[in-house]
Amino acid sequence: MPQAHAMQPGRQKDSRKAILDAAERAFADFGFGGASIRAIARDAGVNQAMIHYYYQNKDLLFSAVVERRAGEINDRRNKALDALFDNAVPTLEELVEALLRPTIELGHDVERGGDAYARLIVYFNNSADERSQRVAEQNYDPIARRSIDAIMKVLPQLGRADAVRGYLFAISVALSVMAKTGRAARLSDGLCDDSNTEETVSTVVAFACAGIRSLANGAAGTRKD
């Protein structure tokens, strides 16, 4: 049985972390089925049996990859929500930014491998298979429910179904930026940058907030331009 944390820091290489990092990249690049344990082991610089030694099987490895990052992201989101609702009711912009910023910032943190995890979120968030929905449910449903409740407090005229839609739409817009497919750059002939974190946050937040407010106004609004 592997020990949770047996070595003193720096004394030997941390194979556990190397495996998670490589697996994160592989799952993000090739999906669950396309990623191979052998390639992950090679990329991590460890013997392939080490992966089963620490994570039992491919499914649990996938879960472990997600859990490592989700904890950090949701801690930040929860603390931001605590602060926002401490005294009064925040604006919709403040709320949406609190929800999206942690993920966007991690996605821009290339040195910590956050870009790979961002692509991995995009992957399982948009996949209907049981495994993807399991990690989404376990790691992101609690904060999602809290966020939806928060949206309804900020916009009381919004029904629950529309609050859910608004939350999911906002997430999907934010994730579309983080997929890093290169399509935006291709279609804009390099004009779209997306490397500036603050610009990305403010653009996505503005888009999402305007969209969410349109749900409150009902789909009746017919405009003239």
Partner DNA sequence: TTATTAATTAAACGTTTGATTAAAACTCAT
Partner DNA sequence: ATGAGTTTTAATCAAACGTTTAATTAATAA
Residues binding DNA (CB under 7 A): 1-3, 6-8, 11-13, 15, 35-39, 46-53, 56-59
How far apart are CB 45 and DNA at their closest, in Å?
Answer: 8
Stretch that binds a copy of itself, among 6-14, 15-23, 29-37, 69-77 (CB under 8 A): 29-37
In the range 161-200, which residues lie near a copy of itself by CB under 8 A? 161, 164-169, 171-173, 175-176, 179-184, 186-188, 191-192, 199
**Residue 107 Cα distances to 36, 115, 120, 129, 194, angstroms:** 24, 4, 10, 24, 11
Q: Measured between alpha carbons, how far is 181 from 6 in angstroms, rounded to an integer?
A: 39
Using rule CB under 8 A, residue 113 touches a copy of itself? no
How far apart are CB 151 and a copy of itself at their closest, in Å?
Answer: 12
Using rule CB under 8 A, residue 4 touches a copy of itself? no
Using rule CB under 8 A, residue 50 touches a copy of itself? no
Q: Where are the alpha helices (DSSP H) in the chain?
A: 15-34, 37-44, 48-55, 58-84, 92-108, 114-125, 130-154, 160-178, 183-187, 197-216
* Closer residue to DNA (CB): 2 or 71: 2
197 Cβ contact list (under 8 Å, min separation 6): 104, 105, 108
* Closer residue to a copy of itself (CB): 90 or 102: 90
Give exposure, 126-162, as e/b (b: 16+ Cβ within 10 Å): eeeeeebeebbeebbeebbeebbebbbebbeebeeeb
What does 119 bind: a copy of itself, DNA, none (CB cut-off 5 to 8 Å by kind)?
Answer: a copy of itself
Residue listed under structure tokens 């039992």? 56
Closest CA to 160 of 147, 177, 175: 147
What does 82 bind: DNA, a copy of itself, none (CB cut-off 5 to 8 Å by kind)?
Answer: none
What does 197 bind: a copy of itself, DNA, none (CB cut-off 5 to 8 Å by kind)?
Answer: none
Using rule CB under 8 A, residue 150 touches a copy of itself? no
